[in-house]
Amino acid sequence: MSHVLPPLRGGHRLRLLQGSGELFPFLVEAMDSAQRDIRLETYIFDFTGQGAEIAYALERAARRGVSVKVVVDGFGSEPIPPSWAERFLHAGVEWRVFAPPGWLGMLWLGSWRRLHRKLCAVDGEIAFCGGINILDDFHDPNHGPLAAPRLDFAVRVTGPLVADVVASMERLWQRMQAVRDIRQARLAGALLSLRASGTSLAAPRRIRAAPEGPRSRAALVLRDNLRNRTRIERAYRRAIGRAREEIIIANAYFVPGRKMRHALVAAANRGVKIRLLLQGRYEYFMQYYAARPIYGALLRAGVEIHEYSPSFLHAKVAVIDGRWATVGSSNLDPLSLLLAREANVVVEDIGFAALLRTRLMQAIRQEGREMEAGEYQNRPLRQRFMEGLAHALMRLALAVQGKKYL
């Protein structure tokens, strides 16, 4: 397991994108301009509303000869609609499903290890990373139409880390291909795929220089079940440990482990202003209720907790001291930090951090509801019971997976 965080490198141009309303037009533009290849990974690929625009762009690219490879998660994504499966087949879009859960569903032990990252690379020159699925802002697969758009972020990037995105996606593709070959008794092909996944088979092409202008220092930080098991959590803890003025974290599913909680409390005790923007709208039982038992210690330390409820909060972002920022797919909860494949971009840039901070403060002030310490202490017994039950179920689920976190 690697204990070294990837270095922040200069030479990047970054653009913060909020929601599918901002992200999808840039995705479509990049895909329509693609000349060689498009790679896309997502937890959810939903063909409703704006999601279909990405599907059409992938089809158009494949029909003009661009290599198009898509990986979706087997639990997060519904089976591809037959009409789209046929269209993609005829166009030449290669579609793979990561770890289909099978008939046991989430009862199968290995099924909790999900592909949760949201990455796209086009021609080895442009990459996208964030928390936004291929999913319309105003649609939820489980809850139907939404009255307000989902709050989420992604980043468009050019520069050196695009090569890291391409290499990571190629490694996953080759490993999935090896599994397919083994299942079909093609052992020679499986060995070649496994060998390729451990080498720089898709070594990045030379990246064209970004347009002149301010450049950002940035790095791609991955979380997987091999070499990069703790990198995203350690990147957060290092930044929190160095904070001197302010920490703002927006997280959809916030159940930090002991080390992360201690880091936040220690920062608050040394005078750092900490604001958390967390999910205030019920989405999933375990994530919603399991988060609340840890609020008490944070509130006592002076941490502000703001709950967001106009729509679903799906962001996984942070800004620290107006300079350090991260945008990605990883929640600060055990499912993300211990089990899922995740990807975050870490940025050190005053302008980028200022823009993300502005967006978060706007959500906090206009759409967040601050939780008071007295309100938390006086919450109903029924809610306390639900919180305890959810916390116990999460502990049990982790124990079954051989993990200890909470």
Catalytic positions: 116, 118, 123, 314, 316, 321
Rounded Cα–Cα distance for residues 9 and 216 (Å): 8
Instruction: Give 67's strand partners.
Output: 37
Nearest CA-CA partner of 42 in 401, 405, 329, 353: 329
CA distance 159 to 218: 9
Angle CA 120–200–64, to nearest 5: 45
Question: How far is residue 10 CA from its own chain's centroid?
Answer: 23
Tell me the two tokens of residue 16.
């913060």
Find tokens 């945008």 and name the residue.
Answer: 327
Strands (E), 256-334: 273-279, 304-308, 316-320, 324-328
Residue type, 326: T
Task: Kindly give, in sequence order, each residue whose CB lies less than 8 Å from that of residue 121, ignoring residues fewer than 6 positions away.
Answer: 37, 38, 39, 127, 128, 162, 165, 166, 169
Strands (E) in 45-184, as ranges, are 67-73, 94-98, 118-122, 126-130, 139-140, 144-145, 153-158
